[in-house]
Structures are given as C-alpha cells and as structure tokens.
Amino acid sequence: MSQKEIVYLLSDSIGETAEFVVKAVAAQFIEKDFEIRQTSHVSSAADIEQIILKAKKDDSIVVYTFVIDELKDYLNKRAHEENIDAVDLLSPLMNVFIKKYNREPAHKPGLTRKLDEKYFQKVEAIEFAVKYDDARDTEGIAKADIVLIGVSRTSKTPLSMYLAYKGYKVANIPLVPEVPAPAELFELPKGKCIGLIIKPDSLNAIRKERLKKLGLQPHAAYAKLDRILEELDYAEKIMKRVGCPIINVSNKAIEETANDVMDILNMQKSVYSL
C-alpha cells in the first residue's frame, strides 16, 4: 500500500472552500492517496507555526484561504523560510476584483457563512408563513415576529409571504364575526400585532371580483356591503382590544404596505429599547 500524501488546509473561517478545491485537484491524481488535514478558524501566528512545523516534517503542501492579511503574510514568510510549498487560493481572484471594481475587500472571515445563514433564515420564514397562514395553527401567534389581523381580502397572505422573503416570521389571522378571535392574540406584547383595514367600497369591489373568478354570483352575502360593514366594525373592535397599530391597505401595493409594517416594527423597537 502506497504512503499517503498529506495536504494541510488552513482557514481563518470554516475552510470549506479550500477543502473543495483540494479534493477536486487531488481526484485527478488517481495513482496517489491523499490525506487532507484541515485546521479551521486560524487566528494567530501560533496556530500557523504548529502547521508549518508539521508540514516541514511531513514534506507536505500547505493550502490556505485567509482574508486577514497579517495571517497571510506570516504564513508566506514562514513557508518561504522552511522551503514549504504554500498555495493561497483567494488572493489571485481577490486581486482581480480589487483592480476591476476599484474596491477594497472587508478582510473579515466568515462572510460567506453569514450570507448562507441569511438564506436559510429566509427559507425558514417562508415555511413559517405557509404553516401559520390564515390561522391554520394558532400556536404560530406566540412564535411569530409579526401577527397580521384583518378581514378576508385585506392582503394578509401575500403580505405575509413578502415579509417572509425579507426574513420575518409572520402569522396571519382572519377576523370573522362568527369566529371568536384566538385568545393568544390578546396576550401578545405590544408591537407584534398589526391590523389591516380597507375602505368598504374597495373591499366590495375586490370580493365581487373574487367571486367572479370562482364562478360564483357577485351578489352573494360575502360581497354585500352590509356584510362588509359588519365585518369591518367587528375587526375594528378586535384591533382596539389588542391595541395594535392599524394600516389602511386601500389601493396600496403589497410592497408599500410591507414598508409600512417594517417602519412600524422599527419604530416600536426604538420605543421599547429606550
């Protein structure tokens, strides 16, 4: 059995980039058996010194992904002194970016991981919005960043999804006179619940169009003005009990309403952080 060739990987972050590249290159040398030894979160010259001594002893290659210049300079200096082949995977491309875009990099490790975390946070928020849409599960009320309440056709669901795309966990609750509002709604801390209202004539037109698309008669009770007034009156009473901010969504785009919601949240955070 042939002796394994050792490659040392160093990173001031996780080191996934170095691992992926080294494995891709090593796979091309079929007759060789490689052992990859990875050291993540390198933060000092002492960390580097340990690897340099091991790499010299094992006659190994050192591959690294450093964005912190001090670490990179120290490793290059020591590798040169010990006659060790050290490969910098990031600097060639980083330098092209600097020259092309005339910008300096942040030199902060772990930024890729932070971007990934934002992506997964967004996915989690979207799954949350789907799960707790239209009061399917009232347990979501306590877990949500935002709880939207309002009568049917006040854009609660599309607004929930839009806010979820922004990373907020949103639950929405329809307010119907015949259905008692969830008790959890009245236990929410201030600033978590937002009420959505709409002009009666606007809601009347929206509901008639909705019935038409469903192939139903536009004069059904759902779209009658007296029914709409009853629902809006009931919703207003609930919103007053909850004590939540209210947004009028009449003739507003989802993006505009979402900005209003986020403005309210930011204002509430400022108030309660004082």
Strands 5-11 and 170-174: unpaired
Residue 273 marked in a binding site: no
- Residue type, position 140, single letter: G
- Kindly report the number of other CB atoms within 10 A of residue 59's CB atom: 11
Residue 157 marked in a binding site: yes
Q: Tokens in use for 195?
A: 């009420």
Residue 202 marked in a binding site: no
Residue 150 marked in a binding site: yes
Residue 60 marked in a binding site: no
Residue 140 marked in a binding site: no
Annotated binding site: 150-157
Annotated binding site for ADP: 150-157
